[in-house]
Amino acid sequence: MIDGGLELDLDAVRQNISEAEVICFYFTFLNRTLVVDTRSSDQVGTFIRVVPMAKDSGDRLRSIRRLRPQLPRPTSMTLIPWDCRITSLVSMGVWAPLLSRLDNVEEADACLQALRLREHRELRRMIRGHQYDTLWMRPDYSKESAEQ
């Protein structure tokens, strides 16, 4: 499937979700990562949280170990770049398999809502030109009038 010019192998994404202990969706546009840890023990359940993006996979692994010190090092971790809209996680059939691996669906829904809100805010900032520069500007447009 191609969304916004990017090819996604949704079957591979779903397979990674079903097999990996730790799943990380990273959203470069939002500078955030959705970390899903499907491991659990008698003391702790599964884990899902929106966190800042890491520098690399080693940094992400270290952050997971800090967040979940009561669990051993994960045996498998998948990193999935997601450059599509947040709602496409649901519409493309990726969210349901993710939920099936978690204990706390309410926490997952709160993370999804937080990502949607962050995406909405970032799109508004982009449209208004806050911390974004336009490549082509209308001749009658001025940044000062847009900020009013």
pLDDT tens column, 42-97: 999 999 999 999 999 899 999 999 999 999 999 999 999 999 999 999 999 999 99
Strand partners, 32: 27, 52
Q: Which residue has the higher pLDDT, 130 or 90?
A: 90
φ, ψ for residue 47, nearest 5 deg: -140, 135
Q: What is the structure's pLDDT at 1?
A: 37
pLDDT category of residue 8 using cuts at 50, 70 and 90: confident
Q: What is the structure's pLDDT at 13?
A: 95
pLDDT category of residue 141 using cuts at 50, 70 and 90: low
Judged by DSSP in three states, 7 sits in strand
Q: What is the structure's pLDDT at 146?
A: 52
Place of tokens 């450059």: 83
The reported pTM is: 0.83
Pairing, β 77-81 against β 22-27: parallel
- CB count, 10 Å around CB of 50? 18
Q: What is the structure's pLDDT at 134?
A: 66
Pairing, β 2-3 against β 6-7: antiparallel
Q: Which residue has the higher pLDDT, 57 or 112?
A: 112
Q: In terms of DSSP H, where are the helices of 53-133? A: 57-67, 88-91, 95-99, 105-128
**Ramachandran quadrant class, 129 (left: phi over 0; alpha: psi -120 to 50; beta: rest):** left
Mean of pLDDT values over 22-26: 96
Q: What is the structure's pLDDT at 128?
A: 79
